[in-house]
Amino acid sequence: MKIYKIAQEYRTIDEDSDFDQIDAAWNVFKDNKIRPNRNKDISDIALSDGTVIGAVASGWDKDDNKATFSFDIAINNNHQGMKIGTNLVKQALERYNNDKSSYKEMGYDTEIELEAINIKFGEYLVRQFGFEVVRKLADRLILRKE
């Protein structure tokens, strides 16, 4: 039986110095066949023994009077089911809460919208974090939170 270490550190990326960890984070997305859209950047990571095992790619879209925050999460396959995704969601929600006041000051309404490609995890987000299901597709849930 293999025993995998859980994440030892969660932190925000420094875009000016964390080049290797940004590359490693994109590789976690690639390994999971998750392709965040182009307006998202790696914002937060989970580390175990200095190795990136999970990441958040997040960004904002502005349209008319609405600013929409969205994020994608990828976890190394060997580390799934260990609450790493939950902790990364908390990091993403903290980023949203920190940034939304700037958008509100510019006159935008704000919301979070995301696609949960893991339906069970999407249902967990609804229960634990108050997301609402906007649309249920065969292979994913579209979620929203204000």
Per-residue model confidence as pLDDT tens digits over 16-72: 888 999 999 999 999 988 888 778 999 999 999 889 999 999 999 999 899 999 999
From CA 84, how far away is CA 14, in angstroms rounded? 20
Residues whose CB is less than 8 angstroms from the CB of residue 47 and which lie 6 or more positions away in sequence, other chains included: 7, 8, 9, 10, 11, 21, 53
CB 71, CB 92: distance < 8 Å? yes
The pLDDT, as a whole number, for residue 2 is 44
Domain with 79 in it: what CATH number?
3.40.630.30
* Angle formed by the axes of helices 119-129 and 84-105, nearest 10°: 60
Q: Is residue 2 part of a domain?
A: no
- The verdict on residue 22 lying in a domain is yes
Q: What's the total number of domains in the chain?
A: 1
| Predicted local confidence at residue 3, as pLDDT | 45
Q: Is 130 within a domain? A: no
Structural domain that includes position 33: 9-109
Confirm whether 143 is domain-assigned: no
> Is residue 122 situated within a structural domain?
no
pLDDT tens-digit map of 75-134:
998 888 888 999 999 999 999 999 999 999 999 999 999 988 889 989 999 999 999 999
pTM of the predicted protein model = 0.87
Q: Which pLDDT band, with edges at 50, 70 and 90, does 6 fall under? A: low
Q: What is the pLDDT of residue 37?
A: 79
Does 1 have pLDDT greater than 50? no
- pLDDT score for 8: 80
pLDDT of amino acid 7:
62
Does residue 85 fall inside a structural domain? Answer: yes
Residue 25, in any domain of the structure = yes
